[in-house]
Structure 1
Amino acid sequence: MTAQPPHFYDFSLEPHFAETMQGPAAALWQQREEGEFKGVDDLTIGWVSLTGFNRDKAIVVINGRIESYWKYQELFYDLTQQGYDVFAIDHRGQGVSDRLVDDTELGHVEEFDHYVDDFNTFINTVVAPRGYQQHFMLAHSMGGTVGTLFVEQHPDFFDSVVLSAPMHGIHLTQWMKPIASPLARVIEQLQSQPDYAPGQVPYYPKPFLDNKLSQSEVRYQWFRDLYEHKPELKIGGPSARWVWQGMAAAKKCVQHAYQITAPVLLLQGSDDTVVDNSAHDVFHHAVNQAGGDCEIKVIHGARHELLFEQDKYRTPILAATLTHFKKAESESK
C-alpha cells in the first residue's frame, strides 16, 4: 500500500454528494447531541455537538448570518472523519435559537456584542467543561466577526483559528461606504419597530443561477431544500439596526486585531461580493504588525460560501484549514 503524503485528507465530493448526505452523513447526524442555554436577555440559544471522535481535540464552528448548524452537516461529517469532535451554535435571532421580533424572518439584533456574549456562555458552559486539551475555531462570514471579537477578548482559549470569508467589512460600492452606517441609523430612527433595511426583504429561495454565494449547484440546492423542509430556519434580509451594528462590529475587529495571539488563517474568495476583501488586508497587517501570526489564503475564482463551494475550491480550503490546525497540534507536543 502506497504511503499517503503528510496531511492527506479525504473529503466529501460533489459527484457522490447525494450518496454521502443520505448515507454516512445522515447516520452521523442521527448521533448528534443538541442542547440549549439562556443567552443575553434570557433568550434560548441552541447548540449541537458530534463527539466520540477525539477526547483531546475539538473544532468549534461558528456559522454566518441567516445560517443554522443544520446547514453544516456535510462539513461536520468531513471534520469528524478527520478525527475531531465538533461543536456549533446557532446565533440569537436565527436557526433554532429564539427570535427577537415577531417577524421571524427578519435578521435582527439589538447589540452585536450579544452574539459574542452568547458565544462566550456557550464556551464556558458547554465546550470548556468537556476538558479538551486543544480547541480550534472555524468561523464563517458573520461568524468570523463573532469569532474575531471573541479571540480578541479571550486570547487564551483557542489554540488556532481559521476565518472563512470573515465579515471584517461589508462589500459596498465606493460611494456607499461612508454613508451606509449613518443612513441605516437614520432609517432605524424612522421605523416604529425593527424592520428591514432598504432593499431587504423576507426570505426567498434565490435561484442558483442568480446566487452570489456558491458555484456548487448540488450544495446550494441542498441548503435551499433544507430550508423548505424546515421552514422555521428561514431568515431573510437584515434590519436597519443590524446593518449599522454589523458594520460597527466589523470595524472593531480590525481596530482590536492587535490583541489576537492565536495563529490565524484567513480564507478569502477572490470573487466574494458579500464581504469587503480589502478589510481582510488591513486586519492581516494589524495582526502581524502587533507580533501575531495571520496568513491570508486567496482562493481564486471562489465566491463567498467557501465551505459550500465547488470541490475545486472547497477541497483545498478544507485541506488548508486542517493543515493549519495540525500545525498548532504539532507545536504543542
Structure 2
Amino acid sequence: MTEPAPFFAEVADAPDGACVAWLTAPDGVRLRAATWAGGARGTAILFPGRTEYIEKYGQVIGRLVERGLSVAVVDWRGQGLSDRLAANPMLGHVEDFRDYQRDVAALLGWEAVATLPRPFHLVCHSMGGCVGLRSMLERADFASAIFSAPMWHLRMRMATREITARATKFALMMGLGARLMPGASARPTPLVNGFEGNALTSDPEQFARSVRQITAHPDLSLGGPSMQWTRAALEEMARLYIAPVPRLPVLALVGSEETVVSTSVIRRQVAAMADGAFTTLAGARHELFMESPTVQTELWTRIDGFLTEVESSAPKRAAN
C-alpha cells in the first residue's frame, strides 16, 4: 500500500492529474514517484538526470501528455525528495550504479504504473540515460527509448579520466567515498555558477525557472557528487561501453554545444545499434528538454517523428 507524497505543483508547470506517492525500493530506500494517467497512446517512463526531480520535468510531462501518452517518473535515490544516502543531504551519493536498478524495479512494480497503457517508451536524460541503457539490456518492459544527452561517457581528457579513476579508487580504499569530489561544490550548480557560461541551457528563462524551483523548495536541490558516486559512474559507463547494444528502436539527441558528455561516444554507440538514430540539435547545450523555444521545436519534431515510426513498425516487428 503506497502513501501519498508531496508535489510542488505551484513551481512545476505540470498538467493536472498527478498521482504522487512514496515507494519502497527492494533494499528499503524510500522513493518519490508520480504518474499522469489517461493517455491511451502508450506510456513515457521518464528517467531524469543527476540532481533532478519530478517538478523540473513538469513542462516535459505536459508535452508528453499532449501527445496522448501517460507518464511515470521517479526521483532517484539520493536526490529530489527520495531518501538522501549521505550524512550531508546536499551530497550526490550512491554506492553502486546498479542500485538505481532497484529504483527502476520499484517504479515499474508500482500498481499505478503497472496498469498504465502499453507500449512503454523510455525517455531519459543524462544520468537517466546511463540507468536507462542498463534497464533496456536487463528488462523486457520497453518498446523504444529516447535519450537526451545520455551519460554513456563523460567529456574529459584521457589523462583527467585516469587521474579521477585513481583518486576515487584511493578515496574508497581510505574510507572517504562519501566525501565531495575535489573541485565540486556542495551547493547546487545553478546557484554557484549563475547563467553566464553555464553548460546546461542557452535559455535564460529555463535557467531561471530551475533556480526558482530550488529556491522555493530547497529540499529538491542537490550539490556536487561524492567520490563514491563518481567512481561508481565511471565503472558503470565502462561496463556499458562493452555491453551488447539494445535491439529496440533508439533515438539519441545531443546539442551542438554539449560539454558534459561525450558526443563521439554516443554517436559510436548508436551507430552500432540495428535500429538507432542520432541527431544533433544546433545551438543546444546539455539539457535539451530545458532549452530555447527554437531548440524545443526541433527536439519535439524529432521525437514526434520517432514515435510515429515506432508505432508504424510495431505490427511488423511483432510479426517477426
* TM-score > 0.5, shorter chain as reference: yes
Q: Matched residues in 1 for 2:201 and 2:239: separation?
A: 28
Following superposition, the deviation at residue 40 of structure 1 comes to 4.1
1:224 is the counterpart of 2:211: yes
- Relative to structure 1, is the Cα distance of residues 229 and 208 closer, same or farther in structure 2, using a 3 angstrom cutoff? same
Contact 1:160 1:324 in 2 (8 A): no
Structure 2 CA distance for partners of 1:214 and 1:228, relative to 1, 3 Å: same
Q: Please tell me whether the aligned partners of residues 91 and 97 of structure 1 are also in contact (alpha carbons under 8 angstroms).
A: yes
Please say which of residues 202-211 and 189-198 is displaced more in the overlay: 189-198
Identify if the C-alpha distance between structure 1 residues 91 and 179 changes in structure 2 by more than 3 Å, giving closer, same or farther.
Answer: same
TM, length-normalised to structure 2: 0.89
The answer on 1:195 being equivalent to 2:179 is: yes
Q: CA contact under 8 A between 2:153 and 2:261: conserved in structure 1?
A: yes
Q: Does 1:168 align with 2:152?
A: yes
Whether the aligned pair in 2 keeps the contact of 1:62 and 1:88 (CA below 8 Å) is yes
Q: CA deviation at 1:328?
A: 1.4
Among candidates 77, 90, 111, match of residue 92 of structure 1: 77
Looking at structure 2, the residues matched to 304 and 327 of structure 1 have their Cα atoms a distance apart, in angstroms, of: 26
1:100 is paired with a residue whose SS is: coil
Partner of residue 6, structure 2: none
CA distance, structure 1, for counterparts of residue 239 and residue 303 of structure 2: 25
Asked whether the equivalents of residues 77 and 100 of structure 2 are also in contact (C-alpha less than 8 Å), the reply is yes
Cα deviation, residue 192, structure 1:
4.5
Q: Give the aligned partner of residue 304 of structure 2.
A: 322
- Which segments of structure 1 move beyond 4 Å, counting only runs of 4 or more? none
TM-score (norm 1): 0.86
User: Aligned AA for 1:111?
Assistant: D
CA distance in 1: counterparts of 2:276 and 2:15, whole angstroms: 33
Question: In the alignment, residue 231 of structure 1 is paired with which amino acid?
Answer: P
Structure 1's 26 and 283: CA in aligned 2 closer, same or farther, altered over 3 A? closer
Q: Secondary structure at the match of 2:269?
A: helix
Number of aligned positions between the proteins: 304
User: Given residue 109 of structure 1, which amino acid in structure 2 is its aligned partner?
Assistant: V
**Whole-angstrom distance in 1 between the partners of 2:77 and 2:55:** 15
Residues 66, 95 of structure 1: 8 Å contact kept: yes
Q: Per the alignment, do residues 178 and 66 of structure 1 end up closer, same or farther by CA in structure 2, a change over 3 Å counting? A: same
CA RMSD of aligned residues (A): 2.0
Q: What is the CA–CA distance in structure 1 between the aligned matches of 2:34 and 2:14, rounded to whole Å? A: 15
Whether the 8 Å contact between 1:94 and 1:107 is mirrored in structure 2 is yes
* Deviations 1:294-328 (CA, angstroms, capped at 9, x unpaired): 11101132100011011111211122112211211
d(CA) in 1 for partners of 2:125 and 2:21? Answer: 22
Distance change in 2, residues 1:104/1:55 (3 Å): same
| Deviation at residue 282 of structure 1 after TM alignment | 2.8
Mark the runs of 5 or more structure 2 residues left unpaired by the alignment.
1-8, 316-320
The change in CA–CA distance for 1:26 and 1:304 in structure 2 (over 3 A counts) is closer
User: Using the alignment, how far apart are the partners of 1:113 and 1:294 within structure 2?
Assistant: 24
CA distance in 1, matches of 2:163, 2:10: 47
Does the alignment pair 1:74 with 2:56? no
Matches within 5 A, 1:95-244: 95-126=80-111, 129-154=114-139, 156-192=140-176, 194-204=178-188, 205=191, 206-244=193-231
Q: For residue 108 of structure 1, give the secondary structure of its aligned residue in structure 2.
A: coil
CA distance in 2: counterparts of 1:100 and 1:273, whole angstroms: 28
Q: Alignment partner of 1:115: what SS?
A: helix
Q: Structure 1's 48 and 74: CA in aligned 2 closer, same or farther, altered over 3 A?
A: same
- 245-254 or 70-79: bigger deviation: 245-254
- For residue 266 of structure 1, what is the aligned residue in structure 2? 252
CA contact (8 A) 2:41 2:68 kept: no
Summarize the Cα distance change of 1:37–1:275 in structure 2 as closer, same or farther, 3 Å threshold.
same
Post-superposition Cα deviations, 1:65-115, rounded to whole Å, max 9, x if no partner, equal 000011011111111112111111110000110011121100000110010
Select which of 284, 294, 316 maps to 1:302.
Answer: 284
Using the alignment, how far apart are the partners of 1:274 and 1:280 within structure 2?
A: 12
Given candidates 46, 55, 75, the residue that maps to 2:40 is: 55
Cα distance in 2 between the residues matched to 1:321 and 1:144? 16
Sort the Cα spacing of 1:169 and 1:127 in 2 relative to 1 into closer, same or farther, 3 A. farther
* Letter aligned with residue 80 of structure 2: G
- Matches of 2:296 and 2:111 in 1, distance apart? 29
| Offset at residue 191 of structure 1 (A) | 4.6
Please tell me the residue identity of whatever aligns with 1:195.
R
Matched position secondary structure for 1:162: strand
Are the equivalent residues in 1 in contact too, given 2:14–2:55 (CA < 8 A)? no
Paired letter, 1:311? P
Alpha-carbon distance between aligned partners in 1 of 2:292 and 2:94, rounded to the nearest angstrom: 32
